Copies of this chain bind each other. A is one copy, B any other.
């Protein structure tokens, strides 16, 4: 059984990625990050998903990106609400966390190498996304090249692969795909700014806007709770 590392934030996209990797027959190892994110609530979902799918292992790596700051997700900067995400697609928003996916993928690379695995899944998505540079195909391709040069397993095999099964899908297509794979959407969390006490989603940050529009277009009910 081929092994795969799944970057598992607990969000809709990474959960879909996990369902896809399992469906493809991979033995899955989840990797999540407690990085000082405002929406740490997503980690509960990552744990639920890991347990539900009985994946081979699930590591939660603690790293302090808050000590760098520079993002609404890791500093005392307000999460923007009610943005027109479509119109502002070409601007990198303040919720962008500097080098986050590079850091996450680097850890995945180290983990993969230790367990003798050449396949890493990440749920980036270049269509209905928030304009982050580290979600684009050219970044992923470039990371993959670097990974094959900078590791023992890359040099030995030359075949470290960064899988991005969602990269060309729109949000509603991701939701349809996840639905076909019986993903329990209740086990996913997308909001950048959830209620601290009950974890309810705000409904108005970029991530909620994209999620809600996606469910609407997919004609599927989103079972998670939103603030009134």
Contact = CB atoms under 8 A, between A and B. Distances in A.
A87 interface: no
B150 A142 contact: yes
Given A63-B63, A103-B103, A139 B146 contact: yes
B65 A63 contact: no
Given A96-B152, A134-B151, A65 B142 contact: no
Contacts of A150: 99, 101-102, 133-134, 139, 142-143
Nearest to A63: B63
Contacts of A102: 106, 109-110, 146-147, 150-151
A70 B114 contact: yes
A151 B134 CA distance: 6
A140 to B, nearest CB: 9
A59 interface: yes
Interface string A79-114: 000000000000010001111111101110111011
Q: How many copies does the complex hold?
A: 2
Interface residues of A, number: 44
A61 interface: yes
Given A64-B62, A113-B70, A139 B149 contact: yes
A70 B97 CA distance: 29
A67 B107 CA distance: 11
Given A102-B147, A133-B150, 18 more contacts: A59-B67, A59-B68, A61-B67, A62-B62, A92-B152, A98-B110, A98-B152, A98-B153, A99-B109, A99-B110, A99-B113, A101-B150, A105-B106, A139-B146, A142-B142, A142-B146, A143-B146, A143-B150
